[in-house]
Amino acid sequence: MADSYLVDPDVGFINEVSRLGGADVKKCYQCATCSVACPISPDTKPFPRKEMIAASWGLKDRLIGSGDVWLCHNCGNCSTLCPRGAQPGDVLAAVRAAAVIDYATPKALARMVSDPKKLPILLAIPAAIFLVVGLLLKMVGVDWLNFNPTGDDLWQADYIHNYLVDIIMIPTFFGAVAVFALGLKRFLAAIHSDAVKEGKTDKEKIDPAGFFQALIRTVPTILKHEKFNECTENRDRSTAHMMVLFGFIGLFIVTNAFFAAEWVFHIEGPYRQINPVKWLGNLGGILLIIGGFLLLKARLAKKDQASSYWDWYLIGLVLALGITGMLTQMLRLGGMYDLSALVYFVHLLFIWGLFAYTPFSKLAHIVYRTTAMTYNEYSGRK
C-alpha cells in the first residue's frame, strides 16, 4: 500500500510564487509534456511535472527542500511546448527565488531585494555607509574621503581612497559568505533528506570527501555550460551567460591581484595600461557589458516567456557594473577627474550591492545550483 500524505496547502507560498513570476501555475492540468520535453531531466523522479503539482497545491516543504528545482536551467523548452501556457520554466524560476528568500538571513533583506519598490533604499544603504565611515575617519585625522583634492595627477582614488573602499568591502564580502554558509548548511540537509525520502539516493549521510570529488567533476560542466547547451529553445542564451560568468571570474581575479598589490606589496595605483592584470580587468568589463546586452536582447525577444523583476535585477546589475567600471577608467584617462570620481562612487555602490545582496538575489543560483548539481553527481542519479 502506498504511503498516505496529508495535503496542507500553504496559500501564502502560492501567492509568493505568483509574486515572483509563477502566476500561470494554475493553468497546469498535468499532461506531463514538460517532463518529456526537458532534455536534462533525470531518468528517475523527472522534473518539472512533480514541481508543478507541488507549486499549484502550495506544498512548500516539497519544493524548498528539493534539489531538483535547481537542476532546471530555465532554458524554456517546457514553457514553449506547454499546451496550456502554464510556463513551467517560469514557475520553477519563481520557486527558486522563494527558496533563496527562505534560506537567506535576514529574510527581511531578501524580500527587499525581490521588491522593485525597495531598490532606492538598497542603493542608499551603501552610499550612507561610505559617507558616514569616510567622514568619521576624517574627523579623527584619517583623510580617506576628500571632496576637493588638489594636485597635478589626480584620479578617482584621490577622492575616495582605496583603503576606505577595502575596509568597507572586505567585511561586506565575508558577511555575504557567512550568509551563504548558513543557507547552504540548511539547503544540503534539506536536499539530502528529500533525496532519501524520494529514493533518489541510498546514502544515509553525505560523505564530505565524496562530495568534494563530485564538485570537482561538476565544475567543468558548469564552466562549459554543457547542460544549458542541451536545451534548444534558448540555447543562444548560453553565450551571454558564459560571457557574464567569465567576466565575473576575471574581475574577481583582478580584484584580488590589486588587493595584494595594495596591502601586501604597497604598490599604489593607478596601474599602467600595459599591465597584464589591467588587460584582464578590461576584458572582464567588456565581457560583462556585451554579455549583459545579449541577455537583455534575449529577454526582450521572448515575449511568450515572462521575465520578472528577479531577472531584470540581475541584468541591470551586470550592465551597471560593467558600464560604470569602464566609464570610470575612460574618464580618468581623459583627464576628467571630477566626473570620473562621481562615476567611481556610483560604481562602488553597485560593487557593494553585488557583495551584500548576492545571497538574496538571482545571482545566488551560482551557489545553490552548483550545490544541487554536485549533489546530483554525488548521489549517482542520472
CA distance 54 to 28: 11
Residues 6+ apart with CB under 8 A from 203: 192, 196, 379
Lowest-pLDDT range of 1-15, 76-90, 166-180, 249-263: 1-15
In the chain, the amino acid numbered 349 is L
Which whole number is the average pLDDT over 341-357?
Answer: 95
Distances in whole angstroms, Cα of residue 76 to Cα of each of 224, 228, 315, 318, 367: 19, 11, 18, 22, 22
Task: Please give the grid coordinates belonging to residue 106.
Answer: 535576514
Question: Would you place residue 380 in the very low, low, confident or very high pLDDT band (cuts 50, 70, 90)?
Answer: confident
Confidence of residue 2 (pLDDT cuts 50, 70, 90): low
Question: Which alpha helices (H) appear in the chain, and where do they start and end?
Answer: 11-17, 33-37, 49-57, 60-64, 68-71, 77-81, 88-103, 107-113, 119-139, 162-198, 208-223, 226-230, 237-263, 276-301, 309-333, 337-357, 365-379
* 116, 309 Cβ separation under 8 angstroms: yes
Between 375 and 194, the more confident residue is 375
pLDDT band at 235 (very low <50, low <70, confident <90, very high): confident
Give the CATH number of domain 11-108: 1.10.1060.10
| Residue 160 clears pLDDT 80, i.e. is over it | yes
Q: What is the per-residue pLDDT for 209?
A: 94
Domain ranges for the chain = 11-108, 113-379
Q: How many residues does the chain have?
A: 382
Please tell me the distance from the alpha carbon of residue 121 to that of residue 113, in angstroms, as a whole number: 10
Q: Which residues contact 65 (CB under 8 A, 6 or more apart)?
A: 190, 191, 193, 194
Give the span between the Cα atoms of 255 and 248, in whole angstroms. 10
Residue 285 has pLDDT above 90, yes or no: yes
Query: Coil, strand or helix: which one is 85?
Result: coil
Region 55-62: mean pLDDT is: 90
Tens digit of pLDDT for each residue in 143-156? Answer: 888 888 877 667 77
Res. 1: pLDDT tops 60: no
Give 74-133 pLDDT, tens digit per residue.
Answer: 888 888 889 998 899 899 999 999 999 999 999 999 999 999 999 999 999 999 999 999
Residue 112, SS3? helix
